[in-house]
Amino acid sequence: MAAPYIPPTSSGLDAWATNFSTLITAAPATYGLTAADATTIAAAVALYHAAYLLGGTLAGGHTPVTPGSRTPVTVADMRSQQGALVPMLRTYSAQIRLNPGVTNAAKLALGLTLPNTTPSPIPAPTSYPLLSLLLATPLTHQFSYKDSLSPVGKAKAPGAIQVQLVGVAAATPPAGPDSLGPLPAQTKSPFQIVWPSGAKGMTAYYFARWATRKGLTGPWSPVTSAIVM
C-alpha cells in the first residue's frame, strides 16, 4: 500500500512524482540525498510519466491524457511502471521524512506529511478493576481482575500498567478506601493476597484502582469482600 501522501490516482501520482523529482534534482543535498539518488528518482518518474501519457486519464478518471492512446496494453504498461515507482518513492519519502537534517518546509514542499514526534499523553483511567474471587484458602485470597468498561476484553484499562489495592480485615465494613492501608500492587491476573494469622475469621475488604506508568490513577472500585479462612 502506498504511503497516504502519495496520491492513489494516475494523474495525482504523475503530478506528485514530477514535483518530488524536480525539487530533488535541483538540490538533492537539501533532502539528505545525493546526485545519484536524484538521477535514480528522475529516471523512474520519467518512465512512469511516459507511460501515463499513453495509458492514463486526466483528473476525474474518464478522459484519456492522449486521445486514442489508451488501450489495455498502454494501461498495463502504466500500471507496471506505477508498481515500480511507488515503492521507490515510498522508500525515499520515509528516509527524508525521518531525517532531522531536512527542514519541515522542505518536506512539505515535496508533498510529504510531517512525522508526529510528540507522543500523545496517556490520560488517567476512567474505569476501575473488577475483582473476582477465584479461590479462598487459609489466610489467602486469589483474585482475577478485568476492566469495568471491558469485562470480557483485555485485563487492564488502556494505559494502565498495574492495579493498586487497599484493604483491611475487620469485623465491620470500612467507610471507604481513603483511610485503608495499601496492599501490594498487582500487574498480573490472577494474583494472591496473604493475610496475617490474626485476620483469621474476619472479613477482608478490598478496593482497587488502575494506575498508569506516570502515576495517574482512576476511580476506586466498589468494595469486594471475602472471609479470611
Per-residue pLDDT at 169: 97
Q: What is the pLDDT of residues 108-159, one digit of tens each?
A: 999 998 877 677 788 999 999 999 999 999 999 999 999 999 877 768 999 9
Q: Which three cell numbers stand for residue 170?
A: 475487620
Is residue 1 predicted with pLDDT exceeding 80?
no
Per-residue pLDDT at 25: 97
CATH 2.60.40.10 maps onto the chain at 129-227
Is residue 2 predicted with pLDDT exceeding 60?
no
Portion of the chain with pLDDT greater than 70, in percent = 97
The mean pLDDT of 69-83, rounded to a whole number, is 94
pLDDT, the chain, mean? 93
CA distance 225 to 133: 9
Domain 129-227, CATH number (from 3.40.630.30, 3.30.365.10, 2.60.40.10, 3.20.20.70) = 2.60.40.10
Is residue 79 predicted with pLDDT exceeding 90?
yes
- Closest C-alpha among 196, 223, 182, 185 to residue 138: 196
What's the predicted TM-score (pTM) here?
0.53
> In sequence order, what are the beta bridge partners of 166?
182, 207
Q: Alpha carbon of 94 to those of 1, 10, 25, 71: distances in Å? A: 14, 21, 18, 34
Pick the residue with more confidence: 104 or 1? 104
Among the ranges given (65-79, 104-118, 162-176), the one the predictor scored with the smallest mean pLDDT = 104-118
The mean pLDDT of 40-60, rounded to a whole number, is 93
The mean pLDDT of 183-198, rounded to a whole number, is 96
Q: Alpha carbon of 150 to those of 58, 103, 124, 154, 211: distances in Å? A: 49, 44, 16, 7, 16
